[in-house]
Amino acid sequence: MPATPIKPGVTEPAYDLTTPLDVDYAGAFADATDADRAHQQRVRAFVQDEVLPVIDEYWERAEVPLDLVKRLGELDLLRDGVDVEGREHVSLMGAGLAAMEMSRGDGSVATICGVQGGLALRSIQMLGSDEQRARYAEPMARGEIIGAFALTEPTHGSDSVSLETTARRETRDGVEGYVLNGEKKWIGNGSSGHITVVWARLVDGEGGEGDNQVHGFVVPQDSPGYTGTTITGKVSLRAIWQAHVVLDDVFVPAENALPGARSFKDTSRVLFATRLGVAWAAVGHAVACYETAVAYATQRVQFGRPLAANQMIQERLTRMLSTLTQMQLLVAQMTRLDEAGELTGPQASLAKYTCTRGAREIASSARDLLGGNGILLRNRAARHFADVEALHTYEGTESVQALIVGRDITGVSAFA
């Protein structure tokens, strides 16, 4: 970044704020395997060489970095750890470290992977038929088919279990299928992708099996009646588009219904699998902010000495590291439980609750520690400060995670 001369002889230095610090103060990730580390390093190289040099411009213009999406496919980083036949298996720890590293780079790019791999591809791999897996998995891993996941509705966010989008059985031109009607909001890739996994309530009126239950359907975005309008004016995750999707008598053949999606419990299985991933992503944002704060504190001179020479600054960095270390230990341990098949829903919720809260605190402190430079995109902290707000909300807000944990603690549901 070129330094700005203020007057001859008075030049603000160009701060180097992106060098990775490999912060892991308590050895939370000490038992990561060589394969996990190699996967993490692949993401880090991509972030350092390809994301950080360009992402501020995409963020500012609110444009999706399509070239980076293409590269993610080429580097096999779009799957978000979801298994695809014929491709390398990534452990849950490896996937977590990768999610952390991607978010350390940029929240929009990480969310593109989260939606494509974590939500859309996972829905098909987990709940789809062999034919659907054969048709979609490989092109989605390559990034040739970009997917979306449409659960939230304008009037049903936290209570998405009450969604009102309908699916009605119908035969059109001799083809058995479903007609979908409803609206979806906040759908990542919903206007810029190729297919959307739509969650809708079956209303065939015959009282048959599955009637009035939530089912999943793969809907091509160029289907007649499908309209995805990009939501503009966002101050967070500006380099990925979310859409307001309208489904107006959209017909899909029966073969597009996910056979494993027969009730909202199945939708929840997908969301449960991704919740810990959001916690890992929050750790990545926190790492980025902590690294930036440490680098700035050692390079910025005020009162004739670096900021880092002040006791209050050191205490502040210690507080950031303390929170970050707790977050790292938590995601690492929860991931070990997940690897052992023992992770519970409330535990995953506790991880998301703790980590997006922690990331928010660290981002806010880092932003402030950079002073006026902290509101400039080019100094890194501001983008993370804004992006972490979306993580705090999506895939279940902080309050909703608290209600899930609270129900587990007390045995009393406070949702109603």
Ligand X SMILES: Cc1cc2nc3c(=O)[nH]c(=O)nc-3n(C[C@H](O)[C@H](O)[C@H](O)COP(=O)(O)OP(=O)(O)OC[C@H]3O[C@@H](n4cnc5c(N)ncnc54)[C@H](O)[C@@H]3O)c2cc1C
Q: Is residue 217 close enough to count as binding ligand X by CB under 6 A?
A: no
Residue with tokens 């009162």: 303
Q: Is residue 393 close enough to count as binding ligand X by CB under 6 A?
A: yes
Q: Is residue 107 close enough to count as binding ligand X by CB under 6 A?
A: no
Query: Do β-strands 175-188 and 242-253 pair in parallel, antiparallel, or remain unpaired?
Result: antiparallel
Q: Is residue 157 close enough to count as binding ligand X by CB under 6 A?
A: yes
Q: Which two tokens stand for residue 413?
A: 């549901």
- Judged by beta carbon, residue 165 or residue 373, the one nearer ligand X is 165
Q: Is residue 395 close enough to count as binding ligand X by CB under 6 A?
A: yes
300, 15 in Cβ contact below 8 A? yes
Start-to-end C-alpha separation, the chain: 53
Q: Is residue 274 close enough to count as binding ligand X by CB under 6 A?
A: no
- Judged by beta carbon, residue 241 or residue 251, the one nearer ligand X is 241
Q: Considering only residues 257, 390, 404, 405, which one is a binding residue for ligand X as defined by CB under 6 A?
A: 390
Containing 262, the helix (H) or strand (E) segment is none
**How far is the C-alpha of 177 from the C-alpha of 250, rounded, in Å?**
10
Point out which span in 99-107, 148-156, 205-213, 345-353 binds ligand X (CB under 6 A).
Answer: 148-156
Q: Is residue 186 close enough to count as binding ligand X by CB under 6 A?
A: yes
Q: How far is the CB of 64 from ligand X (least distance, A)?
A: 13
Q: Is residue 188 close enough to count as binding ligand X by CB under 6 A?
A: yes
For residue 358, give the nearest of 327, 329, 332, 385 by alpha carbon.
Answer: 327
Burial 147-166 (b: 16+ CB within 10 A, else e): bbbbbbbeebbeebeebebb
Q: Considering only residues 47, 51, 92, 187, which one is a binding residue for ligand X as defined by CB under 6 A?
A: 187
Residues 33-72 that bind ligand X (CB under 6 A): none
- Judged by beta carbon, residue 93 or residue 250, the one nearer ligand X is 250
Q: Is residue 152 close enough to count as binding ligand X by CB under 6 A?
A: yes
- Judged by beta carbon, residue 195 or residue 324, the one nearer ligand X is 195
Q: How far is the CB of 101 from ligand X (least distance, A)?
A: 20
The count of C-alpha atoms lying within 13 angstroms of the C-alpha of 310, restricted to the half-sphere facing its C-beta, is 16
Q: Considering only residues 43, 124, 151, 197, which one is a binding residue for ligand X as defined by CB under 6 A?
A: 151
**How far is the C-alpha of 162 from the C-alpha of 214, rounded, in Å?**
9
Would you tell me the crossing angle of helices 92-105 and 264-299 to the nearest 10 degrees?
50
Residues found near ligand X in the complex (CB under 6 A):
115, 149-152, 157-158, 186-188, 237, 242, 390, 393-397, 399-400, 415
